[in-house]
Structure 1
Amino acid sequence: MGVRDLIEGKKQWRAHVARVKALPPDYRIVYDEIQRYLFKVGPVDLIDGGVLPGLLDFFEEGAAAGRRVLDVTGADVAAFVDGLIKGSPTYADAD
């Protein structure tokens, strides 16, 4: 990975974070908790695999439709997240 790749990756991550900050407060809280969980035990290819960008797209669509975050994820957010990473090799599996 070259310097240009690192710089481009950093730009993409900053753009991603800016999109997260633009979410309504309830969506942002749930997104942050999901992200924290996924960074601990989530898929090995979390960033490159598109889980977080896909989740953000999903949340933005729900917010734009005027839906509450728990209407989008369901009441059991943990089950929702487990469904997102089902079948993916995780850091928890590596231990």
Structure 2
Amino acid sequence: MGIQDIIEGKKQWRAHQARVKALPPDYRIVYQEMQKYLFKVGPVDLEGDLLSGIVDFFQEGVAAGKGVLELIGDDVAAFCDGLVEDSRTYAEIYQESISGKSCKAGE
């Protein structure tokens, strides 16, 4: 990864963050909680596409005059889990590492 790639990545992230800041406060709060959740237990291959897709989805909800909880429901974590259900997650890797260590210790 060259310096130009790093600079371009930062530009894209800043543009993404500007889109998030333009959301209404309730949408922004939910997005930030989703982002924290996904960064913690989300897919290993968490790309900007997923986060950008969420912002696109939220912008469509705003344009339709819907509240954020009308779009995703009351359980933010369950909604996030649904988004990444077919992806390998950090939580799964962690569980596998614990299982692997306990099995080796028992041998």
- Residue 6 in 1 paired to residue 6 in 2? yes
Structure 2: which 5+ runs fail to align? Answer: 95-107
TM-score normalised by structure 1 residue count: 0.94
| SS of 1:75 mapped into structure 2 | coil
Shift of 1:75: 2.1
Shift of 1:32: 0.3
> Aligned-residue CA RMSD in angstroms?
0.9
2:9, 2:82 → 1: CA distance?
A: 27
Deviations 1:30-78, CA, capped at 9 Å, x for gaps: 0000000111111111125x21111111011101111000001012222
Structure 1: which 5+ runs fail to align? Answer: none
Fraction of identical pairs, as percent: 68
Specify the structure having the higher radius of gyration (Cα). 2
Deviations 1:2-44, CA, capped at 9 Å, x for gaps: 1111100000000000000000000000000000011111111
TM-score normalised by structure 2 residue count: 0.84
